[in-house]
Structure 1
């Protein structure tokens, strides 16, 4: 989710307990056969900005097909809850954006139309998409529950001027180097690194990446949660320790949850930032592309395979609800939105990476930032666990890490015992099967 799209934090179980008469939008049942309702996620700088980007494209689709699309841009803070309510009520949009990490959870509800061979062929086939993007469209061995729309990856953004002033001429490649550089860059009111420690979404993404680097996973091969294993404990301890032990991030970062870390980096209050496709956000704060550079996140020296994971495979997928009254039109819309020309227009507008391989050849995606992030996505990104309880995992582990960040800011640095206890508590709250 680019330029941090804040995910909903209400658990799947809680939302599924809502009455079946609740409605996530309800427009799908009211539109005629030549109309569609589309819920778009907030990808731009504001809801209005999204409407400005999308409405001309929806008009283009109407001109091509005769199908009118009613647009609603849904904030990330509401999107998951709205979708889950729609899946339980059978009422909602025809087509909708979903965070790609939710694919397997929403797939398990049975509410999404599977993209079987015939449906996928209408979009041009699986081979058009990046493998790392397709890997985040549902559980392994099942037909995808969605198709990729926008792709992102995390990178390490570093301030060229501040690095030069500290006598550092290249970005860190290991966590030990990042911590050492962070100490050299921390002076006065400026810190070496900015973190979004109050955001469960950001926290769980980094915990996942660091766990992969430890050779660990939050679920075993059977889908059973293993939150408090030694590798995951070490991963979370390292991440929280950037603030609580190494002190290269400001204590106030433990409360950041609304892009404040991006603002701190853009305004020179922090010299490094770990973020997804931040260029457009940085530009909105007046930071120019020549003021910073982007590198892959650090990894263990000499790491290969999963241990070299530098990012979760971030992105947005496009799904169709089974309850749609216009499935044929919905599939035409998906085909349009994932067409090469449309992929270029949309991803260029949002500063994201096209998951459609042919679209990446456009010069708009040849900037140093996007080239680096595209390389990460192609070579060292891994999908979050594609299990039915993934949304609960994100919420519970992300909240556990947020709690540890708060304790660290209050002067209680993370230890193996405190991290293990928080992760064990999160695991206990997972649904029983």
Structure 2
């Protein structure tokens, strides 16, 4: 979110909160005493959430759930409008990278006082990376609903031909395997890296020991750990091991063997099974190769309660139900999204599936995007620098110097 939009959002909130009789959610009580809560959910999840909500309504006959499915491409603007007008839903699904922006604007109810009454909300129930997304400025502003992480997808058959019986486990092994695989001929690459993916550079940085101190506003983009990681990242493009343009669809490139390794999330498992059935038994997933660690990212979505909801008690019950282990396992069957509750991963549906179990292993060592409203803008600025380095042959150190300076200016503003 650009800083002037964030400022406008804050001004809108302040102005409206000062107006006597400011608008709020309409009275959701019916004549028979039934309460209706409104839930905004995004993308495909929003289309399927009504099915999951039916059992909640049966268990709570005095509460009706109205789910509004919102396309991801429209969601951000719709949420901004809701915050400014004070006419938002009771419950809202937020991508984890959006949490800081809307929490900073005061749009999300602080759930801290409800943790004892609703033990499902306690951070210790969730993977550490997901738990980090729950808080902003010492407030609990959401509860993890589902999670995702990035792992290494690889062609087992082609790796064996390159001399690897096991997937690369270290940075050195990854570079060596990618080099060997790229030497098979023109238009063959070793590792596909999506230069438009803002989290991948940070994954490499975390693996190299990079840390950001958000509380003390120390970005540390000029640290050796960050610089070394970005040099390693860029070396794949500089050495021709990764393609600097998008090229053909990654599924087709994986099938053709032209891009036999890539990083992606859990959604790609079913995509490959559906679109590349001839590859059955010829590919697998592995945890990230390590340097100082094999840290990967963690993302997904949280459920939050809008700050001006008139149905807080009912919304809390709904959040509690959605984050019960059994409910999360049912949601896994409905949507193929991964549970945020650690205990859910003990179920055979996850533990007995080798690929999903690998994702569960990776989730034990993850970090989420920094909980700061400026992060999205900083990440986009970094991607611009990376493009100039990898495509325009700009000097890496000079570009990272400029990036570090701009990032710190964003923080100061």
Q: TM-score if structure 2 supplies the norm length?
A: 0.84
Between 149-158 and 31-40, report the one with greater CA deviation.
31-40
1:32 aligns with 2:42: no
Offset from partner CA, 1:56-109 (integer Å, 9 cap, x none): 112222222233322233333443443344333322111111122333443222
The answer on whether the counterparts of 2:179 and 2:190 sit within 8 Å (CA) in structure 1 is: yes
1:412 aligns with 2:393: yes
Which residue does 1:361 correspond to in 2? 346
Say which SS state the counterpart of residue 191 (structure 1) adopts: coil
Structure whose CA Rg is larger: 2
Which residue does 1:339 correspond to in 2? 324
The answer on whether the counterparts of 2:128 and 2:366 sit within 8 Å (CA) in structure 1 is: no
Which residue does 1:291 correspond to in 2? 282
The answer on whether the counterparts of 1:280 and 1:350 sit within 8 Å (CA) in structure 2 is: no
Which residue does 2:259 correspond to in 1? 270
Which residue does 2:148 correspond to in 1? 152
Say which SS state the counterpart of residue 391 (structure 1) adopts: coil
The answer on whether the counterparts of 1:179 and 1:246 sit within 8 Å (CA) in structure 2 is: no
Shift of 1:147: 0.8
2 CA distance for matches of 1:361 and 1:415?
45
Say which SS state the counterpart of residue 156 (structure 1) adopts: strand
Which residue does 1:228 correspond to in 2? 222
Match of 1:393 among 372, 375, 387: 375
2 CA distance for matches of 1:265 and 1:11?
36
Offset from partner CA, 1:378-408 (integer Å, 9 cap, x none): 2x2123323xxx2322332x22332234334
Between 78-87 and 331-340, report the one with greater CA deviation.
78-87
1 CA distance for matches of 2:234 and 2:24?
44
Which residue does 2:245 correspond to in 1? 252
The answer on whether the counterparts of 1:156 and 1:273 sit within 8 Å (CA) in structure 2 is: yes
Aligned length in residues:
393
Long gaps (5+) in structure 1: 1-9
1:190 aligns with 2:191: no
Shift of 1:225: 3.2
Which residue does 2:211 correspond to in 1? 217
Shift of 1:137: 0.8
1:72 aligns with 2:72: no
Match of 1:62 among 40, 49, 57: 57
The answer on whether the counterparts of 2:287 and 2:294 sit within 8 Å (CA) in structure 1 is: no
1:242 aligns with 2:243: no
Offset from partner CA, 1:123-147 (integer Å, 9 cap, x none): 535243334322221137x242111
Offset from partner CA, 1:38-68 (integer Å, 9 cap, x none): 12133xxxx4xx3553221122222222333
Shift of 1:191: 1.7
In the TM superposition, structure 1's runs of 4+ consecutive aligned residues that sit over 6 Å from their partners are none
2 CA distance for matches of 1:166 and 1:138?
45
Shift of 1:337: 0.9
The answer on whether the counterparts of 1:219 and 1:385 sit within 8 Å (CA) in structure 2 is: no
After superposition, the CA RMSD in angstroms is: 3.0
Which residue does 2:12 correspond to in 1? 20
Between 312-321 and 129-138, report the one with greater CA deviation.
129-138
Q: How does 1:78-227 map to 2 (within 5 A)?
A: 78-119=74-115, 121-124=117-120, 126=122, 127-139=124-136, 142-186=138-182, 187-198=185-196, 202-203=197-198, 205-219=199-213, 222-227=216-221
